[in-house]
Amino acid sequence: MRKYITIVSLCLSVFLMSCDNYLDLVPKGESVLNTTDDYLGLVESMASEYPTGDFWYFSGDATWPYKNEIENYKYPLRSIAFLWDETEGLRQQHTVTSELYSKCYSRIANYNIVVENVNDAEGPLADKKLAMAQAKAMRAYNYFILVNTFAKPYVKETAATDNGIIIHKKFDLENESKQYSVQEVYDFIMEDLNAAIPDLPEKPLNEFRPSLAFGWALKAKVHLYKGELDSALNAGLEVLKSTYHKLWDMRPMYYDVVAELPFMDFMSTGWDSYAIHPKADPENLLYQFCNNDNGEPFPFWIRK
């Protein structure tokens, strides 16, 4: 009897060992997060542009350059955004559904995974600090886009009671979503930025990862949207210290091209191909298109 028990025990051991080995296998086409390089990869998005649709008017710096058309609401969304027109129901009349909401929260989920787990990954401490900083900077940016698209503008007197957006501070599929106030969202954004900036690199690995100038620029914009002008100015001056980024003065650039190639004034595709920087250029942030009838560069959309 003892002999049979021993044989059965050995069979079970072999079976369980086989199960463990099978569970350790990574399915074909999939990967696991083990190293800091794995987590740094989550900071990047190969489709880093944000869905433009109608919503970009409310979150970007670019606007329509013709004053009379802005004042006359020829293109309502452009006017609403530029004039900060909060007339009840007006914006909703002219907007359509967009993937912006889901795209931002999808990215935030990746950043949360990095923030929660990178310190336990295999790799140098410097890479862990870098991944943490870049994930927090991009998480702050996505929340900034969301709160300024789907919630009320920041008003100091009412921000604590104005409904904001949902904040996911951790990656937890079972956690119940909670809507935070506008003030709480801005506080979380600033908390992420203050934690990220000291460890952001002057020159990132590629254009899909945020730099130190990106962190300061976003901080400047957050202060600006809160009406904290002195703080916005101070953060903006930090951006100008960058040796990696530079100001891109597009108007003289455009007229230099037209002087050299007069036909360019009538070819939007020609200006487009001239104005776009190479993919790896640090100024590959703003795509420009010419307006055919007026012949001036027009900011089309902002990537980061």
* pLDDT tens-place string over residues 150-159: 888 899 999 9
* pLDDT tens-place string over residues 260-288: 777 665 555 555 566 655 656 666 544 33
* Percent residues over pLDDT 90 in the chain: 34
How far is 59 from 109, CA to CA, in rounded Å? 21
How far is 227 from 60, CA to CA, in rounded Å? 17
- Give residue 292's pLDDT: 33
In this prediction the pTM is 0.71
Band of pLDDT at residue 225, cut at 50, 70 and 90: very high
How far is 239 from 1, CA to CA, in rounded Å? 80
* pLDDT tens-place string over residues 115-142: 999 998 888 999 999 999 999 999 999 9
DSSP 122: B
